[in-house]
Structure 1
């Protein structure tokens, strides 16, 4: 893939995802966030796409990361976790960045509790991938790469 030099992607993870592998493995599986990061980094290396990977349990840290990405990143893959359903502030930050956004969830949020079916992130994301487990991150990065290629062709 040809991209502007230094074009980076932010993979952003919300609260409690640091507990993957231990937290409700019957729902979320046994893959850890470190293993998901390795999958993302391997994708980035294969596709000449530098990946910045961040997890925080704090809404303000996530918002700051989104705002920073709007200045320096080519796109965002985000699993906002519990903030998906509650954070208008995170949604508003995502709405202002002007770069492609792909939302990802390990589980199918539409087959879970009713409150999980509402996603403030989806309102501003270019795509949603859910229910594919850890592989969903690779699917999200694949689609984000496709969106970035389309933007590059448009800018030529």
Structure 2
């Protein structure tokens, strides 16, 4: 592995942390709560960067029951709020929620629009916020690394179970 390539380093750290936390590869489920598509383009870039996330043991999954992290993009719209709640409810603990992009943080440029409830936190509890419009792939990977490493380091008995 090229030690000077930050994307490879972040991906490797994320894979190692996922193994430490879960004893297996890390599974991420993406849900679009009402975005413009910019964050999805960056997530797609993350999947393909330097051999892709799968090459480092990070899988993007469709099955909520297999997911460890719910990665939510877009504003929390009234129409999609229930779908986001059901997505979280369909995941088994330990589970984490990551809100990616300025819209997911607080509604972004759509704040105050009647159809928008605000950021994802208006609908479900969030463990990690990743700012940016849209956030760069490196920011997304760094955020996931920080979240998983923080939870993997703590002894299993002392770790607070998020959204159990």
TM-score by length of 1: 0.56
Q: Name the CA shift for 1:120/1:51 in 2 (closer, same or farther; >3 Å).
A: same
Among residues 125, 128, 144, which one is paired with 1:141 in the alignment?
144
Aligned to 1:81: 74
The Cα of 1:43 is off from its aligned counterpart by 5.9
Q: Which runs of 5+ in 2 are unaligned?
A: 1-15, 159-164
Matched ranges for 1:23-62 at <5 A: 28=38, 33-39=43-49, 42=52, 50-54=57-61
Q: Name the CA shift for 1:15/1:104 in 2 (closer, same or farther; >3 Å).
A: closer
Aligned to 1:107: 102
CA RMSD of aligned residues (A): 3.9
Q: Distance in 2 between matches of 1:155 and 1:101?
A: 17
Aligned to 1:25: none
Q: Distance in 1 between matches of 2:95 and 2:45?
A: 24
The Cα of 1:41 is off from its aligned counterpart by 6.8
Structure 1 stretches (4+) deviating beyond 6 angstroms?
A: none
Q: Name the CA shift for 1:16/1:121 in 2 (closer, same or farther; >3 Å).
A: closer
| Aligned residues of 2:53 and 2:59 also touching (Cα < 8 A) | no
Q: Number of aligned pairs?
A: 129
Q: Encode CA deviations 1:32-83: one digit per residue, 9 max, x unaligned.
A: 54312124975675xx6x21225xxxxxxx6xx22x12xxx4x20412435x
Aligned to 1:123: 124
